[in-house]
Amino acid sequence: MRHQKKTIKLGRTAEHRKALLANQVCSLIEHQRITTTLAKAKAVRPLAERMVTLGKNGSIHARRTALAVLRQKTAVKKLFDDIAQRSAERNGGYTRIVKLGPRKSDSARMAFIEWVDAEQVIEEKPAKEKKAKRKEAERKPQQKAPEPEKPEREEPKKEAPAAKEEQPAAPPAEEPQPKKRRWFGRKSGEEK
């Protein structure tokens, strides 16, 4: 029977589990919100709340105890200086677990774990900006290419047939070369 044994083992040895939970709490302190499996989030919550309670105490002994558990000086400093101060009025319940859908690869139940008193951070998607920059970069060379040709056409109006002969020679140089395809390490032009 498992009476009074509430440790979530997570399929790891005791040392591995302690290191995992300490790293998760340090990541939570650094990033304010982490995405992990639901089981790990539920295992991280008691340790994270215990660390905030130590931070609210603020003594040297509490700082050393937190350092012994978390093993990262920067995380302990941020915990005591920032997170514990924000949660000074609360009597527990410093973290929130938000359930997400299943993970695509193995259908594991996923969740956010975050601080309740954290500032709201709006995440921007830079992918749209990158696409816009690429389109602008492609348009600029096309606009620049016709400009030098116009003065040449205006000056030799009598030599219009010669200019027409020169124009067909220019487009083959501007034609894009076919993409080099690789298939199992071979280029398309190579043979066995």
pLDDT tens per residue, range 120-154: 655 655 655 555 555 555 665 555 555 555 555 55
Half-sphere exposure of 73 (CA within 13 A, CB side): 0
pLDDT beyond 80 at 58: yes
C-alpha distance from residue 52 to each of 24, 39, 59, 99 (Å) = 14, 21, 13, 22
H or E element at residue 121: none
The span from the CA of 110 to the CA of 97, in Å, is: 10
Q: What band does 177 get if pLDDT is binned at 50, 70 and 90?
A: confident
The span from the CA of 12 to the CA of 20, in Å, is: 9
CB 94 within 8 A of CB 117: yes
pLDDT tens per residue, range 100-129: 999 999 999 999 999 999 876 556 556 555
Domain coordinates in residue numbering, the chain: 1-148
pLDDT confidence of residue 178? 72
Helices 146-154 + 127-144 axis angle, to 10: 10
pLDDT confidence of residue 158? 56
Q: Which CATH class is domain 1-148?
A: alpha beta
pLDDT beyond 80 at 183: no
CB 76 within 8 A of CB 107: no
pLDDT beyond 70 at 73: yes
35 has which bridge partners? 112
The average pLDDT across 67-93 equals 95
Q: Report yes or no on whether pTM surpasses 0.85.
A: no
Query: Would you report the helix, strand and coil content of the chain in percent, each value rounded to 5?
Result: 55, 10, 35
